[in-house]
Amino acid sequence: MKLVIQLLLWIVIGFLGYLTFNAVYEPIQFDKQKEIRYQKVIDRLKDIRKAELAYKEVTGRFAGNFESLITFVDTADFTITQRRDTSYLDKEYQKTYGVDKMIQDVVVDTIGTYPVKDSIFKESDRYKKMMYVPTTDKKKFDIDAGSITKNETKIAVFEVKVPKRVILEGLDEDLIAQEEQVISVDGVNGKYIRVGSMNEINTSGNWPKVYGANDE
């Protein structure tokens, strides 16, 4: 009987040890996977932002869907310009007052074009997959674009986001729920990883600097 009790005690101790180990080990593994997945997602959001900013520079607005954005990157060119100072005689002033007066001006010359694709992505074609969330089975980012009014002026805005839950799919559900509630200077706050905003003039991402600059 004594031997049986000892065996049961060892089983209980072993089980409690396993629970203790797992309680420590599981969050550590979760954080490792989270950091890897977040970094890949954020790197792609940085690419999307670069493409969106280029789209706005050329068209004056942001793209509201990935088809338009990818086609733009594939086909559009930046215009290369050169500014130069010039001056010319103000003939009206001379006619009225009999005195020569030179008008100073700036002339902008177009000297060429450069493909958007080469400027942003060099020789890579990764932009063709920018709509897909990394580490998922081709799930897509949510994308939107439009304008908001600021001081009676319409200003173009865009937002691209993905729920953390989509990125962390397959990991511990309790830890995912905790991650969705994060409020920290070192973490990604809220339920989404995003870049841009449909409610304010902002093209930055909501991730901390540990993942790289959120505004370039």
In a domain? residue 50? yes
Least confident of 9-23, 74-88, 143-157: 9-23
Select from 158, 140, 197, 141 the least CA-distant residue to 59.
158
Q: Could you give the CA distance from residue 167 to residue 210 in angstroms, rounded to a whole number?
A: 18
Indicate the DSSP class of residue 126: G
Quote the tokens at residue 51. 């493409």
pLDDT digits (tens, 9 = 90+) for 105-123: 776 666 777 899 999 999 8
- pLDDT: is 16 or 208 the higher one? 208
Q: Which residue has the tokens 């942001």?
A: 62
The pLDDT value given to residue 39? 96
Residue 126 and residue 182 share a domain: yes
27, burial (CB in 10 Å: exposed 0-12, middle 13-18, buried 19+): middle
Banded model confidence at residue 24, pLDDT cuts 50, 70, 90: low
Shared domain for 159 and 205, answered yes or no, is yes
In a domain, 4, yes or no: no
Tell me how far CA of residue 101 lies from CA of 97, 105, 106, 120, 205, in angstroms: 10, 13, 17, 46, 51
The overall longest dimension of the chain from CA atoms, in Å, is 124
Residues 181 and 97 reside in one and the same domain: no
Mean pLDDT of 84-110: 72
- Cα-only R_g, the chain: 28
Model pTM score? 0.78
Q: How high does pLDDT run on average in the chain? A: 86
Q: What is the domain range of residue 67?
A: 36-77+121-211
CA distance linking residue 215 with residue 202, whole number of Å: 9
pLDDT at 21 over 50: no
Boundary (domain end) residue, out of 66, 95, 115: 115
In a domain, 201, yes or no: yes
User: Does residue 186 sit within a domain?
Assistant: yes
Cα separations (Å) of 51 from 36, 72, 93, 150, 171? 23, 9, 48, 24, 31
- Model confidence at 53: pLDDT above 80: yes
Share of the chain above pLDDT 90, in %: 59
Q: Within this chain, do residues 126 and 176 fall inside the same structural domain, yes or no?
A: yes
Helix ranges (DSSP H) in the chain: 2-59, 66-75, 91-97, 116-121, 164-167, 173-180
> Looking at the predicted structure, is the pLDDT value of residue 2 above 70?
no
| Residue 107 sits in the same domain as residue 126 | no
Q: Is residue 18 part of a domain?
A: no
Please list the alpha-helical segments (H only) found in 60-149. 66-75, 91-97, 116-121
With cut-offs at 50, 70 and 90, classify the pLDDT of residue 212. confident
Instruction: Among 11-25, 45-59, 125-139, 182-196, name the one with the lowest average pLDDT.
Output: 11-25
Sign of CA dihedral 46, 47, 51, 57: positive
Query: Domain ends where: 67, 94, 115?
Result: 115
What's the confidence (pLDDT) of residue 104?
77
Residues 73 and 143 in one domain: yes
**pLDDT attached to residue 20:** 56
- 73 and 86 together in one domain: no
Residue 207: per-residue pLDDT: 95
Q: Domains in the chain: how many in total? A: 2
pLDDT over threshold 70, residue 199: yes
Report the SS3 class of residue 166: helix
CA distance 199 to 159: 9
